[in-house]
Structure 1
Amino acid sequence: MSIYQFDKERARREQARKDAEREQPSEPPIFNLPTVIVWLGGVMVAIHLLRSLVLPGGWDNLVLYLFAFWPVKYAAFSSLTPVEVASSIWGFVSYGFLHGSAMHIIFNLLWMAIFGTAVARRFGAGRFLVFSALCAVGGALAHLATNWGDTAPMVGASAAISGQMAAALRFVFELGGPLGAFRSSDRRAYLVPAQPLSECLRNQQVLVFVGVWFGLNLLFGLMSGPLAGQPASVAWQAHIGGFVAGLALFPFLDPVPQRRLH
């Protein structure tokens, strides 16, 4: 690369970083979390409290039937009513707003506060919500493919958060990133160019984080209570589906140009 091309590429990256920085919403003082994280977590908590403390059992079961993800619906799709067909469509996303226990939602909110915050500060609220919804869909598809016809419902934001983790791992360990060896303490830390996927998957820190993530999911998932009369279990396939979706979708929604290998 010539000096002229190098300067031109550096100027392009700097302009892209400034543009992305301008897109970011201002941060509220509460917990130093992005607004979209605070509101999204608040909606999940409100829904869980409503189901746990207000709705009678019959109404709660109806909420689960209409908004959880039920693989059995797709195996009997031709016999579904119009309402059931509609619920089988929005269920690819709505299941992420429901949780099986207080421990389940607390665990997910903690991980979203860590990894979701990094992605929200980089993407902005709009891109972050679209990205999270698509990762939830990816998790549901993976669960459906490996649990076809299963009568147990799937709930929880873990698939979407797995995608957020995958996205965060693409840039948080970069030089100048929030967890980099030489890190910045301001918004620029979240706008460093992402490392290429091939390099990311060889990073020992990334591999350790992934191992810890799935290990803790297993631990806390086994502690969850029953849901709608069904024994609780960890939807590993959905977690993997969300994580893979996050890796695949990240470059399409990332506002910062990716760092190139030379």
Structure 2
Amino acid sequence: MDSPHDSPPQDSQPGLPAAHEEAPREPVLTLPVALTAYIVLLAVIHLRVLLPAELENWTIDVFGFIPKRYDSSLLNLQIPGGSGAKVWTFVTYSLLHANLTHLGFNVLWLLPFGSALARRFGAVRFFLFLAVTAAAGALAHLVTHEHAVAPMIGASASVSGAMAAAIRFAFVRGSFLSFNRSDADTAAKVPALPLSRALRDGRVVGFLAVWFGVNIIFGVGAIGIDSETTSVAWQAHIGGFFAGLLLFALFDPVPRVRNDAADASSQDVSDRI
């Protein structure tokens, strides 16, 4: 006769997981390859601070954005870089930073928003988007700082553009701000609403109000990263932000939700935001 102690243990019964087996854990923070490569590039370029002072200043003059470079009245002032710098500095300035604090601040803001865009756009679109928003920031700086000699540097315009683009699909079930990888992947595939509809979302409007409020405070208080040779203007943030908000649809590979579908009753929140 079988003893009660001869019955199979609970963790070996069919349908029950073994006691020693654990559900796989997702990494707390996973960065797309494109964003990781961009951050590494910024870090490597920042090693220029190890160069002799004269060579470092030359690097900033050649690759930083200098409004005076486009001044038609430029006569005796010789700016390194020549005519070519009038083109490439619209983007290259965004790869330079004044110090580790400046670099770290931009990277921290880029982690959530840049991750969302890199997942959604893919590497090529992501890098092109960063370049376009950087150029928009430079243009805004040029318009508001005519004749300025101090170089502007920093990725803030691109970071601002990434933030603006991300809010087009941010407020969904499966937010890209979640630490859960599956939530981030889901958010990256959510169809974005047309801009006109997004601007009627109270959460988007609230985000815009806070973002612009912070930048106005920075501007009025003249808060920035400045030294004798470098400066970062808050107007560039605004330019990059507007470019990201308005040009998002040109880069977005995910088909947009149609207006008639958006007006229908929703069974899946992520398909309507």
Tell me the distance in 1 between the aligned counterparts of 2:56 and 2:110. Answer: 25
Question: 1:110: which partner in 2?
Answer: 108
Greater Cα radius of gyration, structure 1 or 2: 2
Contact 2:67 2:149 in 1 (8 A): yes
The Cα RMSD (Å) is: 2.8
- Say if 1:179 and 1:30 are closer, same or farther in 2 by CA, change over 3 A: closer
Question: 2:12: which partner in 1?
Answer: none
Over residues 58-106 of structure 1, what are the superposed CA-to-partner deviations in whole Å (9 max), with x where a residue is unaligned? Answer: 0011000100000000004875789421012100000000011221111
Output the amino acid matched with 2:218. Answer: L
- Select the residue among 31, 43, 51 that pairs with 1:33: 31
Unaligned runs of 5+ in 1: 1-28
Question: 1:224: which partner in 2?
Answer: 225
Q: Give percent identity, aligned residues only.
A: 44
Question: 1:51: which partner in 2?
Answer: 48
Is 1:201 the equivalent of 2:199?
yes
Contact 2:169 2:190 in 1 (8 A): yes
Question: 1:134: which partner in 2?
Answer: 132
- Select the residue among 45, 61, 65 that pairs with 2:61: 65
The structure whose residues are more often helix, as a share, is 1
Summarize the alignment of residues 59-208 of structure 1 with structure 2, pairs less than 5 Å apart.
59-76=55-72, 83-178=81-176, 185=183, 187-208=185-206
Output the amino acid matched with 1:88. Answer: K
Partner SS for 1:224: coil
Output the amino acid matched with 2:151. Answer: P
Tell me the distance in 2 between the aligned counterparts of 1:143 and 1:186. Answer: 33
Q: CA deviation at 1:152?
A: 1.5
So what's the TM-score if we normalise by structure 1?
0.77
Output the amino acid matched with 2:54. Answer: G
Contact 2:137 2:236 in 1 (8 A): yes
Over residues 134-167 of structure 1, what are the superposed CA-to-partner deviations in whole Å (9 max), with x where a residue is unaligned? Answer: 1111111111111111111110001111111111
Q: CA deviation at 1:203?
A: 2.6
Contact 1:108 1:157 in 2 (8 A): yes
Q: CA deviation at 1:42?
A: 1.1
- Say if 1:256 and 1:227 are closer, same or farther in 2 by CA, change over 3 A: farther
Moved more, 30-39 or 106-115: 30-39
Contact 1:173 1:179 in 2 (8 A): no
Question: 2:246: which partner in 1?
Answer: 248
Question: 1:22: which partner in 2?
Answer: none
Output the amino acid matched with 1:74. Answer: Y
Tell me the distance in 2 between the aligned counterparts of 1:82 and 1:102. Answer: 25
Between the two proteins, the alignment pairs up a number of residues equal to 227
Partner SS for 2:188: helix
